[in-house]
């Protein structure tokens, strides 16, 4: 669990995403890419859910793809930002709306208290959302509760090396801490999941300049909400120093930004007398560069 200073303020996070609702879908390049890679992973698991929960759906980009894949399933798009969920009604053209099946049902709620019956979901999907919690265990327990026996949870989140360039330039208090993949595996086991599989990759996104990098963070709502963050508007001196420090990290004519992406999936097994006390963890480290 994060110490008091590093904890995230949920109300502030919600306000960030509320404000970014109109720009998020076009700006969230990394989230779209990770979501596409998660969808590819579904090719290797056998699951036919009657109901799917997209936890942290945002504007429901992956929810619509899941609805296309599992046409007989009902789908719930859940997020804590109501303005983001309202954007789910604007996605896709006429033909995609005609042939994609029923629209996801938008539900505004919190991960840690899901308004769903126990055992009512066959697949819980969560793309790049869990790192907005100080401690994901309560949310993972809720995922386990709402899953039916033999249901699947599939998730992605961010690991500790994420935004290391920004951390070096802006300082520790302005960038969130992210959970190590092994700790996430332990949390899944503690939540009651059987033999979770965890792996990670490092994705490097490059930007033409520092302004484009910072603008994308703002457009996707991903600015600092740590309790110990400096308050008030950043002064001109700080902003000048920030841009200077980031420019010092330019390679060639592009500014790199590192994202450590952690993937996990696990099954909810039938009730057992005792849960395993260790996680089965698989590590696959690769590097991808996107521009």
Q: State the DSSP string of 212-239.
A: HHHHHHHHTT----BTTSPPSPPPHHHH
Model pLDDT, residue 274: 42
Both tokens of residue 198?
A: 């965890």
Model pLDDT, residue 223: 87
Model pLDDT, residue 280: 45
Flag residues of the chain having pLDDT under 70: 1-5, 89-102, 231-235, 271-291
Both tokens of residue 161?
A: 């090396």
Both tokens of residue 212?
A: 């484009």
For the chain, list the strands marked E by DSSP. 51-55, 74-79, 105-108, 121-127, 147-158, 194-207, 255-267, 287-290
CATH of domain 10-270+283-290: 3.40.50.150
The whole-model pTM stands at 0.86
Torsion of CA 250, 252, 253, 257, to 10 degrees: -40
**Which residues lie closer than 8 Å to 150 by C-beta, 6 or more apart?**
267, 268, 269, 270
**Cα atoms found within 13 Å of the Cα of residue 243, Cβ hemisphere only:** 12
Residue 51 pairs in a beta bridge with 74
Query: Domain residue spans in the chain?
Result: 10-270+283-290
Model pLDDT, residue 231: 61
Model pLDDT, residue 271: 65
Distance CA 276, CA 61 (A): 35
Burial class (CB in 10 A: 0-12, 13-18, 19+), 117: exposed
């Amino acid at each position: 669990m994060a110490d008091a200073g590093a904890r995230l303020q949920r109300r502030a996070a919600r306000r960030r995403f509320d404000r970014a609702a109109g720009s998020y879908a076009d700006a969230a390049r990394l989230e779209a890419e990770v979501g596409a890679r998660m969808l590819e992973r579904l090719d290797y698991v056998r699951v036919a859910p009657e109901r799917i929960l997209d936890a942290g759906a945002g504007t429901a980009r992956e929810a619509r793809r899941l609805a296309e894949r599992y046409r007989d399933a009902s789908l719930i798009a859940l997020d804590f930002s109501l303005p983001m969920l309202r954007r789910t009604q604007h996605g896709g053209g006429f033909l995609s709306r005609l042939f994609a099946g029923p629209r996801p049902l938008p539900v505004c709620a919190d991960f840690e208290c899901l308004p769903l019956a126990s055992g009512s979901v066959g697949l819980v999907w969560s793309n790049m959302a869990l790192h907005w919690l100080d401690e994901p265990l309560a949310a993972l327990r809720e995922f386990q509760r709402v899953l039916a026996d033999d249901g699947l949870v599939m998730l992605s989140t961010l690991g500790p090396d994420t935004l290391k360039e920004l951390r070096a330039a802006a300082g520790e208090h302005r960038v969130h801490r992210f959970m190590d993949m092994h700790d996430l595996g332990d949390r899944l086991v503690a939540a009651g999941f059987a033999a979770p599989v965890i792996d990670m990759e490092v994705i490097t996104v490059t930007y033409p300049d520092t302004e484009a990098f910072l603008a994308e963070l703002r457009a996707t709502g991903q600015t600092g909400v740590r309790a110990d963050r400096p308050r008030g508007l950043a002064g001109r001196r700080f902003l000048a120093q920030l841009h200077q420090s980031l420019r010092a990290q330019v390679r060639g004519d592009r500014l790199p930004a590192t994202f450590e992406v952690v993937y996990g999936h696990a099954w909810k097994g039938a009730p057992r007398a005792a849960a395993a006390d260790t996680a089965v963890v698989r590590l696959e480290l690769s590097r991808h560069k996107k521009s």
